[in-house]
Amino acid sequence: MIFPLSVKSIYQKVDSLVFMKILVSTSHSLLEVDESTLEIRRIHSGRGLYYGIADAGDAIYVAARNRLVSSDLPQHEERGEILIFNRKLGFIKSLTADFPLRDLHEVAWDGECLWATCPYDNFVAKWNGDSWEKWFPQPEDSFQVKDKHHYNSILFENDLLWLLAHNFGESELISFKKKEMLLIGKKSFGFQAHNIWRENGLLHTCSSAQGLILNEIESVVSTGGFPRGYCRSANKRFVGISELAERGVRDFTTSKIVIYDSEWKLLKTLELVNEGLLLDMKMLGPMDEQVIVQ
């Protein structure tokens, strides 16, 4: 079992500014992007679609589906895995469950356990370091048709667990008491939405079908394309944008990272040529200097 330790990440200090490393998952690769230079380094490839990225301190967990959107492999035969990297992004080992991990989306670390959304089978998988279990967020999920709600994103806040249901249309933000796994409530939140994060007291999401970033009150910025994947540093925001394309060619498109300042003013766009879809992003920085957004 790998436990989070209080360690330093790879970083640079220039004029007292801390420059971060951004992990990016795409159809074909796990990439590292340097915030200061925007140089791209390929960390891993060959097991895409790569998706969720979770930071557990000394370990980085990355979801890999082992099946592309364009693959001839039927979805019910998909067998995903969790790739484990050290803090320097060296590959350690692969983690598989004793049941299929199909259509892996976002993964999250709660301080003790790894959670992995598996929307094809309507559950969230949970690994405690020794064993796996399935959590069906709504009781009827265990016997409903495949991919009923398309649960794709998860966020932990104190004793709350937030889960995003894409719903192939009007999306829902669902809240639970984490300890009891008790449903608290639901509310509409974007269309075909991905990702959940909090800024300035409000929860935000990528309303992917609308090409928008929005919060619980209003639209924040129009990004165009298909926004999915978000992270931020002290003074910049990074949004992943995939091309709108027919399903069979999505793996062969060029995605991009759109960079904004802290007030959502567009600064720059970084293209990821031939990387296909951009699925998720995670900001990695020094353990004692992580960006906290109220």
pLDDT at 19: 65
Asked, for residue 109, whether it belongs to a domain, the answer is yes
- Give the Cα separation of 124 and 163 in Å (integer): 10
Count the neighbouring beta carbons within 10 Å of the beta carbon of residue 252.
17
For 270, the token pair is 């970084």
Per-residue pLDDT of the chain in tens (294 residues, 90 and over written 9): 443 433 333 333 433 355 689 999 999 999 999 999 999 999 999 999 999 999 999 999 999 999 999 999 999 999 999 999 999 999 999 999 999 999 999 999 999 999 999 999 999 999 999 999 999 998 788 777 899 999 999 999 999 999 999 999 999 999 999 999 999 999 999 999 999 999 999 999 999 999 999 999 999 999 999 999 999 998 999 999 999 999 889 999 999 999 999 999 999 999 999 999 999 999 997 643 444 333
Asked, for residue 294, whether it belongs to a domain, the answer is no
- Give the Cα separation of 72 and 111 in Å (integer): 37
Asked, for residue 293, whether it belongs to a domain, the answer is no
Asked, for residue 100, whether it belongs to a domain, the answer is yes
Question: How many folded domains does the chain comprise?
Answer: 1
For 121, the token pair is 């089978």
List the Cα angle 47/52/58 in 5-degree steps: 95
Asked, for residue 1, whether it belongs to a domain, the answer is no
- Give the Cα separation of 155 and 176 in Å (integer): 11
pLDDT at 16: 38
pLDDT at 18: 58
Asked, for residue 28, whether it belongs to a domain, the answer is yes
- Give the Cα separation of 52 and 62 in Å (integer): 6
Residue 147 φ/ψ region, left for φ over 0, alpha for ψ in the -120 to 50 degree band, beta for the rest: left
Pairing of strands 123-127, 114-118: antiparallel
CATH number at residue 262: 2.130.10.10
- Give the Cα separation of 244 and 250 in Å (integer): 8
Count the neighbouring beta carbons within 10 Å of the beta carbon of residue 74.
8
Asked, for residue 99, whether it belongs to a domain, the answer is yes
User: Residue 139: helix, strand or coil by DSSP?
Assistant: helix
Asked, for residue 248, whether it belongs to a domain, the answer is yes
Domain span at residue 69 reads 12-284
Q: Which helix (H) or strand (E) holds 46?
A: none
Taken as a whole, the chain contains a residue count of 294
